[in-house]
Amino acid sequence: MKSPYLRFVEEQMRARRYAKRTIEAYTYWIKGFINFNHKKHPNDCHNHEVEAFLSFLSNQLNVAPRTQALALNALVYLYKFVVGNPLTLSLSFNRTKNQQKLPVVLTKIEVATLLDQINSAYQLPCKLMYGSGLRLMEVVRLRVQDIDFDYHSLCVWQGKGGKNRRVTLAKDLVSELKTQIELAKVHFNKDISKQEYAGVYLPYGYGRKNPTARFEFGWHYLFPSTRLSADPETGEIRRHHIDHTVLRKSIKSARIASGLNKQVTCHTLRHSFATHLLQRGTDIRTIQEQLGHTDIRTTQIYTHVIEQGANGVKSPLDDL
């Protein structure tokens, strides 16, 4: 059970329209910070305690750089918006210096083998992660109206970093997507007839601007949950999208069943999408746009997979 203080922090983040996963992550690290300081109130802590906590994460727990950065972001938020006493910009702590991992990439045959082993109920979202390079949360948050069959593309709204983009859609998935839309329509027709149904969740106060939109089919999720649930913010009855964890578990089970020795996750399908486009000669700027990367250097990591391996540097052993 969360403390009243942590519940207050959560309410503040919801009021600022933070994503559910961000709220969960920030709350986790704020709680960890409070426990590290023997439950001393954050109002009585500041730069020194934050520096000690971040150094502890690096020295004792040996967390990854991104994990340490996430903890820092949580505490920056806490002191800026909740405590009202922002941290200094020159914090001194031991930063984690683990080297960034190179992406794990599957061959086309391995992708086909993996997808074939995935539970049929979750094959389509996994195919979209590979076929369109979508992130896990981007695929589960797709809405019916985001599918553009005329131009064979998908619209991704408020992706990582709050960016919108349009990505390619495999023509082979058109039939499956239309079937999925019909399945979503069955849930919609059943829900819309219930008096207690409050419509689908709409982002950023759009529901206030267009009160009827939450009852329009196009706004409903492409991959709806199997059951209705109460909105954590309002308590209203809605049908959310499928939980992202079911796709993670499906990928893990499929990896084991297919006998792949590589460490495969949902993001591996996105990595494979980018690498296979490069192998086909697609311009790296185009791949950057498809992936939604702000910095081209983030996209260039996929060139290392190709240029440092079989398609690039030739081993001198092959000349013997």
Residue of 127, 101, 103 lying closest to 254 (CA atoms): 127
Distance CA 41, CA 33 (A): 10
Q: Locate CATH 1.10.443.10 in the chain.
A: 101-313
Which of 120-124, 174-178, 310-314 has the least mean pLDDT?
310-314
Is 185 considered catalytic here?
Answer: no
**One of 77, 79, 135, 240 is an active-site residue; which one?**
135
Is 143 considered catalytic here?
Answer: no
Q: Note the pLDDT tens digit of each residue in 237-257.
A: 999 999 999 999 999 999 999
For position 308, what pLDDT does the model report?
Answer: 61
CATH match of 4-82 with 1.10.150.130: yes
Mean pLDDT (the chain) is 91
Q: Note the pLDDT tens digit of each residue in 138-182.
A: 999 999 999 999 999 999 998 887 889 999 999 999 999 999 999
Q: Note the pLDDT tens digit of each residue in 258-308.
A: 999 999 999 999 999 999 999 999 999 999 999 999 999 889 888 877 766
- The DSSP bridge partners found for residue 166 are 155
43 vs 102, more confident = 43
Percent of the chain with pLDDT over 90: 75
Terminal-residue alpha carbon distance, the chain: 66
Average pLDDT of the residues in 37-59: 94
Residue type, 245: T
Q: Locate CATH 1.10.150.130 in the chain.
A: 4-82
Is 267 considered catalytic here?
Answer: yes
CATH match of 101-313 with 1.10.443.10: yes
Q: Note the pLDDT tens digit of each residue in 221-238.
A: 999 999 999 987 788 999
Is 220 considered catalytic here?
Answer: no
**One of 160, 178, 285, 304 is an active-site residue; which one?**
160
Judged on CB neighbours under 10 Å (0-12, 13-18, 19+), 29 is buried
**One of 220, 238, 241, 293 is an active-site residue; which one?**
293
Average pLDDT of the residues in 71-92: 93
Distance CA 27, CA 12 (A): 11
Residue type, 273: F
- The DSSP bridge partners found for residue 155 are 166
Tell me the three state secondary structure of residue 221: strand
Residue of 110, 316, 146, 149 lying closest to 221 (CA atoms): 146
**One of 166, 185, 248, 267 is an active-site residue; which one?**
267
